[in-house]
């Protein structure tokens, strides 16, 4: 195996190039390689994964003490050439999802929602893993705002499928029900200041599917429907299951 990465390219950066989001680059390279290999070894590849959401929370407790912590929420893993992708998983990282209960102990933030996103896994003979939704608000008694620093991923370009599999669901972010984009003033410099009473909702995208959805085992599609990985509409449209 030969790696060609000339000095100064994105995979071999040189000072003073910014490298804070290097994980994103590695994840996209992994997906690109798998996409190329799909033409030669279709049963040994993986569709693109819905990249995780990583947030850093900063602020001060009511008594003036400073706090800061980080929380990671996994997206849907891309389907493989022989099985479904895992739901709510970090790939290719070896990290794991952060417990919302632990987050609530470390910072004055409450998780109002944490759920699997139905229909977020890309349809295919092998279905992509589903993404997640998490909603945050400030804890009762927290009268000062909390700054949240994060990277928005898979918003414009969802995780793609392979060999006829479909893309996973897009990532999304909203503040008090209003969809946010990278150009919103609330997201200046990749940070959002969450005020008391506001609700920040984050959707982490699902993974891409592999293969023609019409070739999926009907028993697997029926199981997905029963477990609410897919909706009745998606079951009928993508898999012919009622």
Judge whether 37 lies within some domain. no
Predicted TM-score (pTM) of the model is 0.91
> Long-range contacts: 62-66, Cβ < 8 Å, 24+?
62/108, 62/141, 62/142, 62/143, 62/144
Out of 41-50, 138-147, 151-160, 232-241, pick the least confident: 151-160
Question: Is residue 188 very low, low, confident or very high in pLDDT (cuts 50, 70, 90)?
Answer: low
Handedness of CA 28, 29, 35, 38 (dihedral sign): negative
d(CA 129, CA 89): 8
Give me the domain span that covers residue 167. Answer: 47-239
Judge whether 31 lies within some domain. no
Predicted local distance difference test score (pLDDT) of residue 236? 97
pLDDT digits (tens, 9 = 90+) for 169-179: 999 999 999 99
Select the highest-mean-pLDDT range: 18-27, 48-57, 159-168: 159-168
Judge whether 117 lies within some domain. yes
pLDDT digits (tens, 9 = 90+) for 85-103: 999 988 877 677 889 999 9
Predicted local distance difference test score (pLDDT) of residue 189? 64
- For 162-180, give one letter per residue: b (16+ CB within 10 A) or e: bbebbbbbbbbbebeeeeb
Average pLDDT of the residues of the chain = 92
Q: What does the block give as tokens for 38? A: 């799909």
Quote the Cα angle for 33-35-13, to 5°.
Answer: 30
Helix/strand/coil percent split, the chain, to 5: 20, 25, 55
Judge whether 146 lies within some domain. yes
Judge whether 13 lies within some domain. no
User: Over 70: is that where the pLDDT of 140 sits?
Assistant: yes
Into how many domains does the chain fold? 1
Predicted local distance difference test score (pLDDT) of residue 90? 84
């Amino acid at each position: 195996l030969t790696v060609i990465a000339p000095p100064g390219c994105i995979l071999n950066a040189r000072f003073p190039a910014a490298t804070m989001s290097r994980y994103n680059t590695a994840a996209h390279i992994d997906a690109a390689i798998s996409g190329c290999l799909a033409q030669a070894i279709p049963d040994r590849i993986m569709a693109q994964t819905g990249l995780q959401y990583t947030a850093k929370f900063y602020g001060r407790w009511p008594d003036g003490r400073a706090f800061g912590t980080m929380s990671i929420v996994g997206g849907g893993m891309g389907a493989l050439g022989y099985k479904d992708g895992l739901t709510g998983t970090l790939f290719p990282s070896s990290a794991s999802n952060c417990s919302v209960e632990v987050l609530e102990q470390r910072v004055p933030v409450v998780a109002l929602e944490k759920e699997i996103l139905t229909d977020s896994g890309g349809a295919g003979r092998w279905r992509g893993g589903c993404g997640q939704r998490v909603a945050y608000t400030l804890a009762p008694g927290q009268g000062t705002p909390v700054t949240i620093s994060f990277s928005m991923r898979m918003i414009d370009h969802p995780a793609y499928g392979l060999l006829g599999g479909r893309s996973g669901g897009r990532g999304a972010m909203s503040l008090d029900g209003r969809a946010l984009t990278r150009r919103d003033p609330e997201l200046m410099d990749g940070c959002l200041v969450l005020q008391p009473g506001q609700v920040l909702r984050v959707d982490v995208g699902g993974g891409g599917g592999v293969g023609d959805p019409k070739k999926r085992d009907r028993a697997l599609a029926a199981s997905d429907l029963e477990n609410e990985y897919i909706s009745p509409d998606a079951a009928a449209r993508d898999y012919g299951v009622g």
